[in-house]
């Protein structure tokens, strides 16, 4: 499948779970795809029916096709769920949006002027006019009410779940310790941090703090999952071989790393 963002992962896990429960649901689910690469749900073991619009999923395309109700014609939906914060949609009154965060307001400098313009022109209207909003925490619900003025009764907090079939306690800790040493050259106990690539995660500050701690010869190494980092990070890493940065980690490896961490 390749690399999944946080929003991509929550969407993928939601689709897998709906597929697993589809015979118990009191409604029909049709997936809408928009890609030209020929990828289908069956490639990932998902048997839900789907419709694919063979166009790139791009803002300028979605802005063009939404007024002519292409998605409505393709899927004949009664209710549309947009799982990735916002989009140009055919009928906003028949749409539920999952709003994962309000970073546009809480970390405004991390977004471009173009992103802010789209938020003002599209997202605000969608949030205020849609059927309902789903979000993952009470904190984000409070932010949506505070910054956008959405009726709190329209916002439903549904906490993110866990794939317990994969993410569960590892039965043999000693075997796991040997496995991590062979696979990742992690030979000491370690602190573990995932999703490091955004400034707001304060990973650079974490590395500085760990380098200060390292002067005391700590028991724990520091292990980070970080696919793309710059030369400033490389310079910090040269100063301390006890910091490990891992890339392209599979879900199985991620489960093992969580289990092995202090």
pLDDT of residue 199: 79
The arithmetic mean of pLDDT across residues 165-187, rounded, is: 94
Radius of gyration of the chain (CA): 22
Reply yes or no on whether the pLDDT at 31 is more than 70: yes
Give strand pairing partners of 157: 135
* Bridging pattern class, strands 132-135 and 31-34: unpaired
Reply yes or no on whether the pLDDT at 197 is more than 80: no
The arithmetic mean of pLDDT across residues 123-138, rounded, is: 94
pLDDT of residue 3: 62
Q: What is the tens place of the pLDDT at every residue in 43-102?
A: 999 999 999 999 998 888 998 899 999 999 999 999 999 999 889 999 999 999 999 999
How many whole angstroms separate alpha carbon 64 and alpha carbon 196? Answer: 35
DSSP assigned state of 215: T
pTM of this prediction? Answer: 0.83
pLDDT of residue 22: 94
pLDDT of residue 96: 97
How many whole angstroms separate alpha carbon 194 and alpha carbon 122? Answer: 31
* Residue labelled with tokens 């995660």: 201
Reply yes or no on whether the pLDDT at 34 is more than 60: yes
Contact 236, 207 (CB under 8 A): yes
Q: Out of 29-33, 71-75, 88-92, 235-239, pick the least confident.
A: 235-239
Shortest CA distance to 9 belongs to which of 100, 142, 79?
100
Ramachandran bin of 149, using left for φ above 0, alpha for ψ from -120 to 50, beta for the remaining angles: left
pLDDT of residue 256: 96
Q: What is the tens place of the pLDDT at every residue in 103-121?
A: 999 989 888 998 899 888 8
């Amino acid at each position: 499948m390749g690399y999944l963002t946080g929003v991509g992962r929550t969407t993928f896990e939601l689709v897998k779970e709906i597929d697993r429960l589809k015979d118990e649901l009191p409604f029909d689910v049709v997936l809408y795809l928009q890609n030209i690469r020929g990828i289908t749900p069956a490639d990932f073991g998902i048997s839900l029916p789907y419709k694919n619009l063979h166009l790139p999923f791009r803002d300028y395309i979605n802005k063009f096709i939404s007024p002519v109700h292409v998605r409505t014609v393709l899927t004949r939906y009664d209710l549309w769920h947009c799982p990735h914060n916002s989009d140009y949609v055919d009928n906003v009154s028949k749409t539920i949006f999952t709003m994962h965060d309000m970073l546009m307001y809480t970390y405004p400098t991390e977004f471009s002027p173009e992103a802010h313009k789209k938020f003002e022109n599209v997202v605000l209207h969608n949030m205020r006019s849609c059927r309902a909003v789903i979000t993952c925490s009470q904190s984000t619900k409070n932010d949506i009410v505070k910054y956008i003025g959405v009726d709190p009764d329209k916002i439903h907090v549904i906490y993110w779940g866990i794939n317990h079939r994969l993410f569960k306690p590892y039965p043999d800790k000693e075997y796991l310790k040997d496995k991590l040493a062979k696979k990742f050259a992690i030979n000491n106990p370690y602190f573990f941090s995932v999703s490091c690539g955004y400034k707001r995660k304060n990973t650079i500050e974490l590395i500085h703090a760990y380098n200060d701690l390292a002067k005391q010869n700590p028991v724990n190494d520091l292990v980070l999952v970080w696919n793309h980092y710059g030369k400033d990070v490389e310079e910090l890493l040269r100063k301390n071989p006890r910091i490990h940065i891992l890339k392209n980690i599979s879900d199985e490896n991620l489960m093992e790393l969580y289990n092995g961490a202090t």
